[in-house]
Structure 1
Amino acid sequence: MPPEQFQKQLLAWFDIHGRKDLPWQQNISPYRVWLSEIMLQQTQVVSVIAYFNRFVTRFPTVQALAEAGLDEVLQHWAGLGYYARARNLHKTAQLIAGNNGEFPQTVEELSALPGIGRSTAGAILSIACGQSQSILDGNVKRVLTRFHGVRGWPGETKVATRLWRISSEYTPQKRCGDYTQAMMDLGATLCTRSKPRCTSCPVIDGCEAYKLNLTSQLPEPKPRKTLPVKQVFFLVLQDRQHRLLLERRPPAGIWGGLWSLPEFADRQQLRDWCLQQDYQLSEPTELPVHRHGFSHYQLEYIPILATLQNPINYVMEANSAVWYKPSDIHSLGLPAPVKRLLQHNYLEDHDDKND
């Protein structure tokens, strides 16, 4: 099917069936498109909507986001995961604010900003600025892979290069914003990863995967690897005032910049640390093992609950560890599994005691 025919049939479908009531499709601006694209990376639309609404209520402009503290940004991001996205969002907001709040107008300049790749840059420029720019997010990869019968894992350089070329060839000069959104909608609502609704597809007559009965096989998956397992121990330590000890994690790495529980490689390291801090603990309680999956490994964590018996009133290591009241913890940026752990084993009971 020629690109012009593909565009015509896709846009005709979009005019009737396309999604037009998502929050980021209202009052369209580069800031709102950028924020939605970053949030939608690795996250489903249904999950993003509430986060997006809360985020733009607190940070309605790129200037407001730039002026906010990273702690507050991370707090509003907590639960979405992949926290490097939030840190990059904050850095980029500050750079754009330093440019009088103006977003760059080329893919090259936008892609040079932290956390913005070629596809995100294309989405911003096409949807918010009306430029004819191609994109290649997960949904578009799936649509083009199936439509052209592209074999191989789309993450491979050779395959990705071919898909970018196809995406560029099929992107129109007019109605490019609608086309970009239509491609996303087609992948999200019809050309889904499993059980695609092929008979409702507006371009089914040109789809190679449908013709060859390959829709369940394309796109080809990434070659599977057995993920390594990393085991750690979390110390859930409270003092006599029912305060909980939390540490700020380093800015880089997993959960960078968030507040979390003191973490140790093994029980002996935990005991040695308590001795160094002159912490006298009650008999610790070891909870069952929990597991949290990351893209490159599985984190297996064992919570150790204990109470501090001797009074310690100083703050350690220049604000990297702080004793928090349960009522204050709710406002912090916490990793999702840590937040769940505290809610189930600590916060609810102690909130009741402090009411």
Structure 2
Amino acid sequence: MGVDKITGKAQNITAKISAHYVDNARNLPWRVPPELSAAGRLPEPYHVWLSEVMLQQTTVAAVIAYFQKFTKRWPTVADLAKADEADVLAAWAGLGYYARARNLHKCARYVCNNLSGIFPSEEKELLKLPGIGAYTAAAIAAIAFGQRAVVVDANIERLVARLFAIDTPLPKGKADIRIAMDALTPDARTPRDSAGDFAQACMDIGASICSAKAPKCEICPVQAHCAAYAKGDQERYPVKPPKKAKPLRKGRFFWIEQDEKLLLVTRPAKGMLGSMRALPDDGWAAGKDGHGQPPLDGNWQLHENVVQHSFTHFSLEVDLAVYQTEKIVINKGDNRKAEPGPQLDDAIWWPVNGIEDAGLPTLFAKAVDWAVKRKLKE
């Protein structure tokens, strides 16, 4: 559909989406309800930024509890900036895509050290912050500061592609979708016309009505304007390229336990799951299998294929090797420090009964859960 036709339909679509939001907005802990935003109240920028970073490639349902935990523990961006990175990563455990957590901490420190703890309101300035890309900058500018910005997340992408039957395959089609969303986005003349509320209104319709499968077109406020609905092929949009088969990698984790404590290591800062606490492993990576060699000499009992985990670009099949030999030496002065051995520098002992507090990434938490349920420690 050409730009002229998009512009011609835009005003009616925008008005209906905005009106629908007034009565149907989702109640989310980082939002200001539409009746308050209409009176000129804006949400806390820290909350908008935190939620938007968490929501990248993660569902709202999964994010709510993490958002509440973070804001209770670190109520302000200054509090988050003062935190240890290890604590931030541990609190993030389970959300995945851990580079987000590292960038979150870097950004908090940057805002406090360079901007007196105040987030900039302009997109171009927000883009200079660690971990903030085009979408996040637009969302913060629109929602937290009332700026006119064109916000396009996955839900909006799907809604707009269907409204205008944009059939250019992704990712090339993103440009056409953004042009259409630009035509729909209000000029923020009044709080009720704000680009922030409009973006959130589109997000809500995309999440609850214009879903990827079985969209609820019968209750959609803009059904009459939807080109895909008129064609009867809503689920075709947005058009995506064929999925590539993921390569399968093999890795091995090592379970070393002593006195009801489990040996954990801190992963290298660079690379997958960087700086996270984890079980020792055999160096598996996205591009290669692990070498399978244990970090200590001794008798190991091998349990094959105990965990299967899917990453964005590959899948991992994990074996678990359990140390069966005599106790390893520890420093008596600190019962959580292990004597450094091969691949075990900076290792720590962590109580098995409190392993949920270690902040293990989901992949390693799965392996620990498998082991604990089978009482391997006995």
Q: Same fold (TM over 0.5)?
A: yes
In structure 1, the residue matched to 2:145 is: 129
Counterparts of 2:272 and 2:234, CA distance in 1: 35
Q: Quick one: which amino acid aligns to residue 278 of structure 2?
A: S
SS of 1:305 mapped into structure 2 = strand
CA distance in 1, matches of 2:311, 2:292: 24
Q: Report if the CA contact (8 A) 1:238-1:308 is conserved.
A: no
Shift in Å, 1:348 = 9.1
Give, in whole Å, the separation in 1 of the partners of 2:92 and 2:262.
22
Pair 1:270 & 2:311 matched: no
Counterpart in the other structure of 2:257: 238
Whether 1:338 and 2:371 are equivalent positions in the alignment is: no
- Give the C-alpha shift of residue 36 in structure 1: 0.8
Give the corresponding residue for 2:276. 258
CA contact (8 A) 1:238 1:307 kept: no
Which residue of the partner structure matches residue 218 of structure 2?
A: 199
Report how far residue 18 of structure 1 moved.
Answer: 2.0
- 1:23-80 CA-to-partner distances (Å, cap 9, x unmatched) read 1115821110111111111111111111111111011111111100011111111111
User: How many residues end up aligned between the 2 structures?
Assistant: 342
Aligned to 2:63: 48
Write out aligned runs for 1:154-165 (5 A).
154-156=170-172, 159-165=173-179
Deviates more, 1:260-269 or 1:207-216: 260-269
Deviation at 1:310, TM superposition (A): 4.1
| 8 A Cα contact 2:307 2:367, kept in partner | no
Query: Where do 1:105-184 residues align within 5 Å?
Result: 105-156=121-172, 159-174=173-188, 175-184=194-203
Is 1:212 paired with 2:231?
Answer: yes
Shift of 1:242: 3.1
Distance 1:110 1:267, change over 3 A: closer
Name 2:43's counterpart in structure 1: 28
What do the CA deviations read for 1:144-166 (whole angstroms, capped 9, x no partner)?
Answer: 1111111133323xx12222222
SS at match of 1:303: strand
Gaps of 5+ in 1: none
Q: How far off its partner does 1:193 sit?
A: 0.6
Residues in 1 aligned to 2:206 and 2:22: alpha-carbon distance in whole angstroms: 16
Residue 3 of structure 1 is matched in structure 2 by: 10
1:321 equivalent among 347, 367, 373: 347
State which drifts further: 134-143 or 246-255. Answer: 246-255
Alpha-carbon shift at residue 347 of structure 1 (Å):
8.0
Alpha-carbon distance in 2 for matches of 1:118, 1:305:
46
CA distance in 2, matches of 1:132, 1:14: 18
From 294, 305, 320, the equivalent of 2:311 is 294
In structure 2, the CA distance between the partners of 1:268 and 1:172, relative to structure 1 (3 Å rule), is: closer
Which residue of structure 2 lines up, in the alignment, with residue 100 of structure 1?
116
1:85-139 superposed Cα distances (whole Å, 9 cap, x missing partner): 1111111111011111111221122122222111111111111111111111101
1:274 alignment partner, SS class: coil
| Counterpart-to-counterpart distance in 2, 1:44 and 1:325 | 31
| AA of the residue aligned to 1:315 | E
- Does the residue aligned with 2:308 lie in a helix, a strand or coil? strand
Determine the C-alpha separation between the residues in 2 that align with 1:191 and 1:267. Answer: 42
Identity %: 34
1:247 aligns with 2:265: yes
**Is residue 2:21 matched to residue 1:14?**
yes
Unaligned runs of 5+ in 2: 1-7, 33-41, 189-193, 331-337
Matched, 1:304 2:318: no
Distance 1:121 1:268 in 2: 42
Following TM superposition, by how much is the alpha carbon of 1:349 offset from its aligned partner in structure 2, in angstroms?
Answer: 5.2
Q: Which moved more, 1:102-111 or 1:228-237?
A: 102-111
Shift of 1:269: 4.4
Change (3 A) 1:267 1:251: closer
Q: For residues 135 and 57 of structure 1, what CA distance do their matches in structure 2 show?
A: 28
- Contact 2:103/2:130 (<8 A) preserved: yes
TM-score norm. by structure 2 comes to: 0.84
Describe the shift of the 1:270–1:112 C-alpha distance in structure 2 as closer, same or farther (beyond 3 A). Answer: same
CA shift at 1:318, angstroms? 8.8
Quick one: distance in 1 between partners of 2:376 and 2:68? Answer: 30
More divergent stretch after superposition (229-238 vs 333-342) = 333-342
- Taking the aligned partners of 1:72 and 1:192, their CA distance within structure 2 comes to 36
Q: 1:57 aligns with which of 45, 61, 72?
A: 72
